[in-house]
Amino acid sequence: MRKRFLELLSIALIACVSCQSDGDDSPHNVFDEDFEIMWAQDHFMTSEDSQVWHLVLDQNSGSGFKSKHRYRFGWFSMKLKLVPGDSAGVVTTYYMASDEGDYRDELDFEFLGNRSGEPYTIQTDIYANGVGKREKRDLLWFDPTTDFHTYSILWNSHQIVFFVDQVPVRVHRNTAATSNVFPQYRAMYMLSSIWNGDDWATRGGLEKTNWAAAPFVASYKKFHGLGCKWEDEYQSTSVMPCADNSNQWWDEPLAWTLTERQRELYSWVNSQNLIYDYCQDYSRFSITPVECSVAPWDW
């Protein structure tokens, strides 16, 4: 009985964050408070109240923005409405990344455009110490262009979970076997962008961007970064910052593994919507990556 209560509490916490995100129009959501433009200022727009942020892609440029703060562990969510219509070749992103260049850590949501009427593909990827190529792709089970949906990353020292709304679509666990391929020591920024990826994004590059349908616009709102902020002065200390987050819900035991309900949803997504998993691509990997042998939770 107590175990079931704790599971319901964990689900309620995530739902509570989502509900707050839906209804919170407080000033901290204003773009300039949390983010800065990375490139092409003229391809970035905001709504009159600065609550909705639009990235624009045309033949001249895409655009992107980046958080002013770095984080090590936490819960990070953003609401997105993707490019409607004929969006083949267009890549919209929402991701976390450190700034170590070739040795960076990165957690990616990439939304791959489609021809009109076809389902959107969501690709997730994980980089650790500069090594990625850990792609998984799912077909979204709803139209992400007609309304905003919440995309979230839970990151603590035990697991990384990618959520679409409240559905976990990917789990990457930190175990004795996977500690070297689990991002955990580098603080990361939050970033978003839109760009042309028609050399690979839709049907492996067979479908090219239809520039007659440009400009392509992706919309963002209600960023929530509930994490441990990494301050620059931490780098001069001998103690690893953000090591103890036990007083935060996203790093309590309830957040160290999926609940029973989350496991059901994860299993459903992977059985019904998964279209590519690098762990099963034996033509690319003659030796199975070590993390592929680790179950998404302890059975």
Report the catalytic residues: 106, 110
In contact, 255 and 247? CB cutoff 8 Å: no
- Helix (H/G/I), strand (E/B), else coil: 290: helix
CA distance 191 to 195: 13
CA distance 150 to 163: 8
Residue 195 in tokens: 């760009």
Rounding to the nearest 10 degrees, give the CA dihedral for residues 259, 281, 153, 232.
130
Block residue for tokens 């939770």: 297
Rounding to the nearest 10 degrees, give the CA dihedral for residues 37, 41, 44, 48.
100
In contact, 66 and 189? CB cutoff 8 Å: yes
How far does the chain reach from its first CA to its final CA, in angstroms? 19
- Helix (H/G/I), strand (E/B), else coil: 90: strand
In contact, 100 and 130? CB cutoff 8 Å: yes
Q: Which of 106, 82, 110 is nearest to 96 (CA)?
A: 106
Q: Which of 108, 243, 272 is nearest to 185 (CA)?
A: 243
In contact, 257 and 158? CB cutoff 8 Å: yes
β-partners of residue 95 are 108, 191
In contact, 150 and 94? CB cutoff 8 Å: no
Spell out the alpha helix ranges (H) of 200-241: none
